[in-house]
Homo-oligomer: A and B are copies of this chain.
């Protein structure tokens, strides 16, 4: 059905269209790539490709542009991920090395990825669900107010205020702190609720209600899936491509946390690079965009995802290379901290 030459033609069409942003015709194809055949032959191949739905013409007597299906075939079988240049690698390393904070790591990553790909970068905060408790701290900040700080092994720090309706003694706090930490040390966040839920029953009845308050706030923190936090950067790059009317829709989608979640979350298994093209996207307003995403994390367990969003007409090999490389470096940074 599709012999090698037809595939070569499709690849050439994708490459030319991506670089010129204009429908590509048989003649210019024959000139720019040495396919060894005449324009007429290419035309025949293109007719077949169009019939199969891989390319389309915007109107009669115009060149062809790839369809979503065409891009899909290109990504799956016709392209190889382009490795980054040494200069780019060095840039990544130096740019990420200076981070001192989880917020800072994520912030730098998203800006870096946007700059590298000249598109919109999207980074999800490392998930709480797969990390474990490193330490829990209780601090009295006012006579009726405690601060609870939860520190995870991924460098994440969550803090919450606990209101106590009367004063609490320093000993009680120390006792609770010790109890919490023995219960939770090294405990996975998924298992943490079970580990603490019956903790109030273990303390003397005087302090029980304080313990209950603390535990309730702690449970709240654990349940509130804060891994849903996602940031993006590089919206300005959208303005460069011609999105005509839909730009507004894309920007709106980007500002909706929920949409971003689904954008990254549903991209198949983590740790393998996934590409979602055009109408394969779940969200209405993103039908003319593609998403390249991959999980990242310490070692081989993915903590969260990051990726890039751009027009379907994007440089897939280059983008995939950049996304993969950045994900690796971020994983290293997180493992080292």
Contacts and interface: CB of A to CB of B under 8 A. Distances in A.
Interface of A: 100-101, 111, 134-135, 137, 139-142, 147, 149, 151, 157, 159-161, 233-236, 238-240, 247-248, 251-252, 254-255
Contact of A149 (B137, B142, B248, B254): B137
Given A100-B161, A236-B254, 6 more contacts: A101-B160, A134-B142, A135-B141, A147-B151, A235-B254, A239-B247
CB-based closest 6 A-B pairs: A239-B248, A236-B251, A236-B252, A137-B139, A135-B141, A239-B247
B255 A233 contact: yes
Contacts of A247: 239
A147 B135 contact: yes
A234 B157 CA distance: 28
Given A235-B251, A251-B239, A151 B160 contact: no
8 contacts: A135-B139, A137-B137, A137-B139, A149-B149, A157-B159, A236-B248, A239-B251, A240-B248
A234 B142 CA distance: 37
Nearest to A138: B137
Contacts of A254: 235-236
A255 B239 contact: no
Contacts of A101: 160
A305 B324 CA distance: 39
A100 B149 contact: no
Contact of A255 (B100, B142, B235): B235
A160 B233 CA distance: 25
Nearest to A238: B251
Contacts of A142: 134
Chain B CB within 10 Å, residue with most, of A101, A111, A159: A159
Contact of A134 (B141, B157, B239): B141
A256 B280 CA distance: 33
Contacts of A239: 247-248, 251
Contacts of A149: 137, 139, 149, 157, 159
A97 to B, nearest CB: 16
Contacts of A135: 139-141, 147
A136 to B, nearest CB: 9
A285 B255 CA distance: 23
Contacts of A137: 137, 139, 147, 149
